[in-house]
Structure 1
Amino acid sequence: MTVPMGIRIARRRYITVCVLFWLPLGLSIAPLILLFTERGMAMAAIAGFFAAHSLTAAVLELPTGGLSDVLGRRAVLAAAGLLNLAALTLVGLGTTPWLLGLGMALMGAGRALSSGPAEAWYVDTVQAHSGPDAELRTGLARGGSATSAALAAGTLLGGALPWLLGLGPGLGARLSDATSGAVLPLSVPILLGAVVEIAFVLYVLTALREPPRPAAGLPDVLRGIPGTVVGGLRLGGRDALVRRVFLSAGAVGSALASTELLTPGRAAALTGASESGAVLFAALACAGFVCAGVGSHLAPLAARLAGGGERAVMLSLGTGAGGLLLLGATAAFTGVGLMLLAAIGYGLVYLGLGAAGPNEKDLLHRRVPSSVRATALSVQSLALQLVGALTGLIIGVLPPGALPWLLGGTALMAGSLLWHHRGRTTPPTPATPRLLQSAESAPASGT
């Protein structure tokens, strides 16, 4: 079937936004902690920096989702880019704890602001062009694949640049001397990410066109946010399908926390040194992003083969849970064969999560109105972050071995079972139309 030109343009712009937003994050993954260490920061300070990021993102998640629904997708997304630009600049050049902590907090604020506006813009644009029954899954899947590709490429480039700079005779030292120590080789990928953020902001402002919204001053905007947030929360409280999406996001957060916290130590134990373990972890992270991208690309096929989006979500999350359980089963053993099984398990985690994401989003967007769309996405993101943080705390007190892996695997399997025997999207309950009508009439525009 021929895709209309307007939808093709919307897909291309959405994919470009995904790449430009997530590439800077990918560039910072490999060098960030090492840069903090080079700046003389103790582990307690580094943990504090990441806590500042997480807490800022969690506190601002819902209010900023409501802000996007009130003020507009483009304005909020551009603000997220500007915050990330400031954050990456501070982190790349900062030499004192308060500057680095401020940079991480600003990065958390940018992450909260970016949670939902681009996706909401794409859905709004496609539905305005082709109606509420427009096909969404393909574009969302391609956006997910683009995000994974940007993270994978950024991780490789961010890990390679400092190493390449260190190959030249005295090049890293000359770079540090020329900038009075402000720029280290480890700073370069992060500052490159800041340059990409400039391109991101310019692209958002010029390419993401949206219908004009009613003029609203700051007091009107602030008054509109609480009603929009309440409308988004009510969707999860009164709509069973939306509630399953939110609960599944929590299960995914638990799975990701388990994988991201436990894999670096396992890689170091396998190689026998933290430095070589970090290299192995960077390669594994890149492979995980690639698997997530492949899974996202295959999401429409998964829905067709499974007989519907809900069954596809169930099978995809089950695949990821199987991967985590396989990682747990091999945690206490060594050997080439068992390491190969562990690598397969790691790939299955990200493949399953990648395939589940677009199908969940397709189901969610068909159930929520435009006035609370970004808020609903923020609730989903908040569930992922909070459950992930709780899982991390629990893992910290569990004994090493299979049990921490099994925690994430069990949570993800529970998320999969939420979709059992639901082969098609269930119609809204009688209360849902009134809920949506109420949400549409919330003071989202400040009127």
Structure 2
Amino acid sequence: MTPAPEAAPATAPGPDERIARRRFVTVSFLFWLPAGLTSAPMVLLFTERGMALAAVASVFAAHALTAAALELPTGGLSDVIGRRTVLACAGVLNACALTLIALGAAPWVLALGMALMGAGRALSSGPAEAWYVDTVHAHAGPGAEIRTGLARGGAASSGAMALGVLLGGALPWLLGLGSDPGAGLRTLTSDLVLPLSVPVLLGVAVEIVFVLYVLTALTEPPRPPATLRGVLRGVPGAIAAGLRLGARDTLVRRILMTAGAAGTALSALELLTPGRAAGLTGTAESGAVLFAGLAATGYACSALGSQLAPLVARLAGNSERAVLASLGASTAGLLALGATVSSAGAPALTVAAAGYGLVYLGLGAAGPSENDLLHHRVDATGRSTALSVQSLSLQLVGAAGGLAVGALPAGPLPWLLGAVVLLAGALLWSRRAAETTPAGAATGSGGG
């Protein structure tokens, strides 16, 4: 999968680097905005429909299992039939899923919606980024600078999540009508649409815009007509090639292990922060409001970190040192959260809030440099599959880490476990950073 050096074509089809970057940023924003809109009201919408928390957990499991099961096959599919087709299919599936979730009442309908959303999530893992890198390489060659575009795409994704969380949490409250919140909307739609459904329906509208934009803006060179036999033969081959690359290439393996460490850190934050917020405010309801604000702040910090990634890489000297420094900052943030878990007062809360933001800031800054290294190790035939393997590593190791964090007694120990795992991921890059010269990082390449 390691591409051989080649000269950029004199006249490459498709948009140039600047246009490709702008389209990649737009696609990233449009894809993640519905996810942000639905994250705040989703659980409350399910319980409002009469589902117990155990049933809610089951439908979320349907989403996670579907996404994990399809992660590699859909990555291979993108490498075989094209980025645009797979990404448009992801948008269509997400639009159908959100429609079922917004309007469905029966548990099986909601579970089907979550499963379809998991399939859409798997389909979307990698094609947009792979399209951007393919397009830049077609114009400027495999050594082209891509970190800036990856950073802006990551910033757009995190910014969309932050905006979506705020809108998704505020819209149901703003739509409260009369003395009984939401009574007018319920009456008008015969209880089909609840105030909590409105952000989800807005997400459907955004998904439709996303599909139309993908089909019109993400142009790519013509591919040979795909037959069912060719797809069935090509997808397993792409998956196997991606797994082999992770097994034999030291640098790619390090990136995959780092993704797993980041997944554990994020699982710890998502699992432990809501309870801590409720403890600070005194009630679960007010804690949920505080957590929504914290989540939006975290996404904003991640967006800032992604935007700063090129600067961090320049200051550090190369991508490897940038990843090491960024993950080190995130580890410091988790340690700050663990150190203040039993403390009260304004100073401790300030340190905890700073630590929370620092975790997301560091992870946001590390991502573009990691993927800059990854894309210089793979070519267009396996780019989307490699991103899917990376995403799967984050999900699976993060899920296992979340189980371990949840099994520990309350206190600083769960936070410490997340920090230790993330520190181990950072230290994977300490030897690599020492071996790589700044000149070697100028092209973003890395050896195995």
- Report the TM-score, using the length of structure 1 for normalisation: 0.93
State the alpha-carbon separation in 1 of the partners of residues 244 and 350 from structure 2.
45
Equivalent residue of 2:274, what SS? helix
> Which sections of structure 2, spanning at least 5 residues, go unmatched?
1-13
**How far does the alpha carbon of each residue in 1:332-382 deviate from its partner, in whole angstroms, 9 at most, with x for none?**
222111011000100000000000000000000001111010000000000
2:84 maps to 1:74: yes
Compute the displacement of 1:170 (Å): 5.0
Q: Do the aligned residues in 1 keep the contact of 2:405 with 2:418 (CA within 8 Å)?
A: no
Compute the displacement of 1:171 (Å): 6.4
* Aligned AA (1:118): A
**How far does the alpha carbon of each residue in 1:230-280 deviate from its partner, in whole angstroms, 9 at most, with x for none?**
111111111111111000000000000000111011000100001110110
2:144 maps to 1:134: yes
State the alpha-carbon separation in 1 of the partners of residues 183 and 134 from structure 2.
50
1:105 aligns with one of 115, 123, 130: 115
State the alpha-carbon separation in 1 of the partners of residues 56 and 339 from structure 2.
32
State the alpha-carbon separation in 2 of the partners of residues 167 and 175 from structure 1.
8
* Aligned AA (1:418): L
State the alpha-carbon separation in 1 of the partners of residues 159 and 192 from structure 2.
30
- 1:53 corresponds to which residue? 63
State the alpha-carbon separation in 1 of the partners of residues 151 and 258 from structure 2.
18
2:1 maps to 1:24: no
2:399 aligns with one of 389, 392, 407: 389
Among the aligned pairs, what percent are the same residue? 68
- 1:243 corresponds to which residue? 253
State the alpha-carbon separation in 2 of the partners of residues 282 and 104 from structure 1.
21
Compute the displacement of 1:172 (Å): 1.3
State the alpha-carbon separation in 2 of the partners of residues 361 and 395 from structure 1.
27
Aligned pairs for 1:75-94 (under 5 A) are 75-94=85-104
- 1:408 corresponds to which residue? 418
State the alpha-carbon separation in 2 of the partners of residues 63 and 329 from structure 1.
42
Compute the displacement of 1:422 (Å): 2.1
Compute the displacement of 1:220 (Å): 1.1
1:264 aligns with one of 259, 264, 274: 274
- 1:322 corresponds to which residue? 332
Aligned pairs for 1:275-424 (under 5 A) are 275-423=285-433, 424=436
- Report the TM-score, using the length of structure 2 for normalisation: 0.93
State the alpha-carbon separation in 1 of the partners of residues 269 and 324 from structure 2.
20
State the alpha-carbon separation in 1 of the partners of residues 281 and 232 from structure 2.
53
For these two proteins, the number of residue pairs brought into alignment is: 426
Compute the displacement of 1:168 (Å): 4.8
- 2:8 corresponds to which residue? none
Equivalent residue of 1:399, what SS? coil
> Which sections of structure 1, spanning at least 5 residues, go unmatched?
430-447
2:206 maps to 1:196: yes
State the alpha-carbon separation in 2 of the partners of residues 253 and 148 from structure 1.
16
Compute the displacement of 1:388 (Å): 1.1
* Aligned AA (1:158): G
1:143 aligns with one of 150, 153, 169: 153
- 1:222 corresponds to which residue? 232
Compute the displacement of 1:428 (Å): 3.9
State the alpha-carbon separation in 1 of the partners of residues 415 and 117 from structure 2.
29
* Aligned AA (1:266): R
- 1:165 corresponds to which residue? 175
- 1:444 corresponds to which residue? none
State the alpha-carbon separation in 2 of the partners of residues 179 and 222 from structure 1.
45
State the alpha-carbon separation in 2 of the partners of residues 36 and 151 from structure 1.
21
State the alpha-carbon separation in 2 of the partners of residues 39 and 156 from structure 1.
23
- 1:433 corresponds to which residue? none
Compute the displacement of 1:427 (Å): 5.2
- 1:253 corresponds to which residue? 263
Note the aligned Cα RMSD (angstroms): 1.3
Compute the displacement of 1:391 (Å): 1.4
